[in-house]
Chain A
């Protein structure tokens, strides 16, 4: 009987070691999930700020164009002031109403995507860890019950039924091994799932933020080029007129 007890004690000790390792893995996985979420949030916030700054910078460039136009209008006293007023109106609309509305819409999309990412990561991690904790406890409770039953039977009939007791002890050891492996597998799956879901969510957030804002910036850039080209045309027109007048 002493040999069985030594083996049983060894299995129990190894299971305790496995559980301590699981605790360490869980701690690492939890910290990793927290870091991933914090980084995803930081990246989203940075992205939103950067894109807003880009849009504002573009607005500032347009404001510069507007000032040039206004100065030109004042200096040359052009007849086509109405057309220039209309261009100034376009700039204003783009800078204030359209731009802020589009950015607000984009921010909403980014935040919604991040919110979904948070919920997904939280759900995956919480569900996984709860399962791990329950499995560990279930494993030890199972082990205790089986061991007590084994000891009881061993006391009563070890000499008569040694082989049966040995078989039962092997069943207990196998069940314990299976449960420990299930815990370890669950941790691996959880960590993998968490990492995958957050990466997917982060890509979605970046894509949602990037595309519409790039469109705004492109649109503003095109508008600026159009305004500058119109301004060049008007300057050329004025110069032609002056040249013609000089020639006459």
Chain B
């Protein structure tokens, strides 16, 4: 029976290690996507500034 207990512990350990590796990679990859979203948001701000500048220039002209 102790052999069985060791086997169960070994299996549990293997599964835990694999699950942790998967979770860590998911987290790491999601951080990359968040960084990417940050770049996109920065880009949108830049576009907004351009749009505002465009509007001001149109108003000045009129």
Number of B residues with CB within 8 Å of any CB on chain A: 39
The answer to the question of A126 belonging to the interface, with a C-beta cut-off of 8 Å to chain B, is yes
Q: Which range holds the interface residue count of chain A? A: 35 or more
| Segment touching B, from A66-74, A131-139, A159-167, A230-238 | A131-139
Given the complex of chains A and B, what is the CA–CA distance between A74 and B61 in angstroms?
A: 121
Q: Which residues of the partner chain A approach B4 to less than 8 Å between Cβ atoms?
A: 48-49, 52, 107
A143 and B40 in contact, given A22-B33, A49-B4, A104-B3 (Cβ under 8 angstroms):
yes
From 17 to 46 in chain B, residues with beta carbon under 8 angstroms from any chain A beta carbon are 17-19, 21-23, 25-26, 28-33, 35-37, 39-44, 46
A136 and B11 in contact, given A5-B50, A26-B26 (Cβ under 8 angstroms):
no
Task: Tell whether, in the assembled complex, residue B50 and residue A122 are in contact, meaning their CB atoms are under 8 Å apart.
Answer: no
Given the complex of chains A and B, what is the CA–CA distance between A2 and B49 in angstroms?
A: 11
B53 to chain A, nearest CB (A): 9
A20 and B44 in contact, given A27-B26, A30-B22, A118-B14 (Cβ under 8 angstroms):
no
A44 and B26 in contact, given A15-B40, A122-B18 (Cβ under 8 angstroms):
no
Given the complex of chains A and B, what is the CA–CA distance between A132 and B43 in angstroms?
A: 21
Given the complex of chains A and B, what is the CA–CA distance between A118 and B37 in angstroms?
A: 32
Task: Tell whether, in the assembled complex, residue A129 and residue B14 are in contact, meaning their CB atoms are under 8 Å apart.
Answer: no
A121's partner among B10, B18, B51 (CB-CB below 8 A) is B18
Given the complex of chains A and B, what is the CA–CA distance between A114 and B42 in angstroms?
A: 46
B43 to chain A, nearest CB (A): 5
B37 to chain A, nearest CB (A): 6
Most chain B CB within a 10 A radius of its CB, from A12, A122, A133? A133
Q: Which residues of the partner chain B approach A27 to less than 8 Å between Cβ atoms?
A: 26, 30
Q: Which residues of the partner chain A approach B3 to less than 8 Å between Cβ atoms?
A: 104, 107
A12's partner among B12, B15, B43 (CB-CB below 8 A) is B43
Show 23 A/B contacts (Cβ-Cβ < 8 Å), sorted by A: A8-B47, A9-B47, A9-B48, A12-B43, A26-B26, A37-B19, A41-B11, A41-B15, A45-B7, A48-B4, A114-B15, A119-B18, A122-B21, A126-B25, A129-B26, A130-B25, A133-B31, A133-B32, A136-B32, A137-B35, A139-B36, A141-B36, A144-B40
